[in-house]
């Protein structure tokens, strides 16, 4: 059943003193009055926000006991200190196993109309259930070990009673997922220099290079075709799926055969839960199936290699980029688009390439301006991290220069 969203104001909880500490108070205030440049957070009618539920979800999000080796939590791949990602090409899970996908940031995931790169889950609640039981992430056979930990932990028993009014034996994975999703809906960020310029009326919020980059973003570079900028708000995503040319070499010329192989596996699974679990395991453990993209959900051959448009907010911090983490810096991303969906101008093109992906003919100055604009999308709470990242990047550039290596540049997330 499709969830009916409602907008939940938390002002009453704040005034009633139900929020424990400044962190929760700030999170609740963000939802009562979203940051500049963002709309109100959509909240499902069957999972309303409460301060206690948010706190419970935060704790669950960081609990490493919910994995087979006791070392992997949601926060392992979505670390607060790394802008809720892990800055790895593809994430490491149970026993250091590596999957096929780059970890997207949790920041502003609340606004996404589907979750995961291929959109295989419709909401945060569904997304939260999958990683613990994926063989290359949490490594658990099912959710029972998680429930056993929760039912035996006095603090969890108390919290689930307070939040859901449940006895320990009544707690299910659905309740766990609802709490985690409630916390994730507080991980939002706007009020960037771009927002202060675009929506706050501050002409000095962007420098000259960033302003030129914004103009390029909207027009010549055509970024805004998918990373939307609206009159009163900007999510920087169209919530759609596009084949931009990333990863196709892994399956080039064999797409139909790989698709047929996957469909046989999918159709052999019985029941919607079994299908969902099979897809989740297949796309993270089989590189070729992973590159089918949105096709694994729709079974439409035109969706082969199509992946979800990610948000660009705080993109300078959520490197590396693309669904496979194959582009390391923002400059590499801009070059890729400038080449019309290719790392090198003479690379072959996938026949499944989305129609809007064409060479851009940007000059070196224009490419630098576009990167400068993307770096202006960093929110205040992540500015310190951005400065730290810039210092590391600058040091790496000097080190590489001194050793004859390639010069490094600052990073960000997939335009």
Alpha-carbon distance 274 to 266, whole Å? Answer: 9
Centroid of chain to Cα 297: 18
Q: Are 245 and 306 in contact (CB under 8 A)?
A: no
CA proximity to 328, closest of 409, 274, 223, 245: 409
Q: Are 220 and 362 in contact (CB under 8 A)?
A: yes
Per-residue pLDDT of the chain (415 residues; tens, 9 = 90+): 334 344 433 333 322 233 333 455 455 544 668 999 999 999 999 999 999 999 999 999 999 999 999 999 999 999 999 999 999 999 999 999 999 999 999 999 999 999 999 999 999 999 999 999 999 999 999 999 999 999 999 999 999 999 999 999 999 999 999 999 999 999 999 999 999 999 999 999 999 999 999 999 999 999 999 999 999 999 999 999 999 999 999 999 999 999 999 999 999 999 988 999 999 999 999 999 999 999 999 999 999 999 999 999 999 999 999 999 999 999 999 999 999 999 999 999 999 999 999 999 999 999 999 999 999 999 999 999 888 877 666 555 445 444 444 433 333 333 3
Centroid of chain to Cα 260: 29
- Global pTM reads 0.88
Alpha-carbon distance 42 to 255, whole Å? Answer: 37
């Amino acid at each position: 059943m499709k969830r009916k969203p409602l907008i939940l104001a938390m002002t009453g909880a704040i005034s009633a003193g139900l929020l424990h500490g400044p962190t929760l108070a700030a999170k609740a205030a963000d939802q009562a009055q979203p940051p500049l440049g963002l709309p109100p957070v959509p909240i499902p009618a069957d999972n309303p926000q409460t301060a206690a539920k948010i706190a419970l979800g935060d704790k669950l999000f960081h609990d490493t006991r919910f994995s087979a080796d006791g070392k992997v939590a949601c926060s392992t791949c979505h670390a607060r200190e790394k802008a809720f990602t892990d800055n790895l090409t593809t994430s490491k899970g149970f026993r250091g196993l590596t999957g096929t996908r780059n970890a997207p940031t949790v920041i502003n995931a609340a606004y996404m109309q589907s979750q995961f790169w291929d959109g295989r889950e419709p909401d945060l609640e569904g997304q939260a259930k999958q990683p613990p039981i994926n063989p290359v992430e949490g490594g658990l056979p099912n959710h029972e070990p998680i429930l056993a930990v929760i039912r035996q932990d006095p603090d969890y028993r108390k919290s689930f009673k307070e939040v859901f009014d449940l006895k320990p034996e009544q707690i299910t994975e659905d309740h766990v997922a609802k709490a985690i999703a409630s916390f994730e809906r507080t991980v939002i960020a706007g009020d960037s220099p771009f927002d202060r310029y675009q929506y706050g009326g501050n002409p000095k919020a962007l420098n000259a290079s960033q302003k030129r980059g914004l103009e390029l973003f909207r027009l010549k570079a055509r970024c805004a075709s998918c990373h939307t900028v609206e009159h009163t708000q900007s999510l920087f995503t169209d919530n759609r799926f596009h084949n931009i040319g990333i990863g196709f070499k892994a399956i080039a010329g064999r797409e139909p055969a790989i698709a047929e192989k996957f469909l046989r596996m999918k159709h052999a699974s019985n029941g919607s839960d079994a299908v969902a679990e099979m897809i989740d395991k297949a796309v993270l453990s089989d590189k070729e199936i992973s590159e089918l993209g949105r096709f694994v959900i729709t079974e439409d051959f035109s969706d082969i290699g199509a992946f979800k448009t990610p948000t660009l907010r705080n993109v300078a911090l959520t490197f590396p980029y693309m669904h496979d983490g194959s582009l390391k810096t923002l400059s590499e991303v801009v070059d890729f688009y400038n080449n019309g969906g290719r790392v090198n101008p003479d690379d072959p093109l996938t026949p499944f390439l989305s129609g809007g992906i064409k060479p851009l003919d940007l000059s070196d100055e224009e490419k630098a301006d576009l990167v400068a604009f993307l770096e202006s999308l960093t929110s205040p709470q992540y500015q310190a991290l951005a400065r730290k990242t810039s210092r590391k990047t600058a040091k790496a550039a000097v080190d590489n220069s001194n050793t004859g290596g390639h010069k490094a540049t600052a990073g960000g997330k997939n335009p």
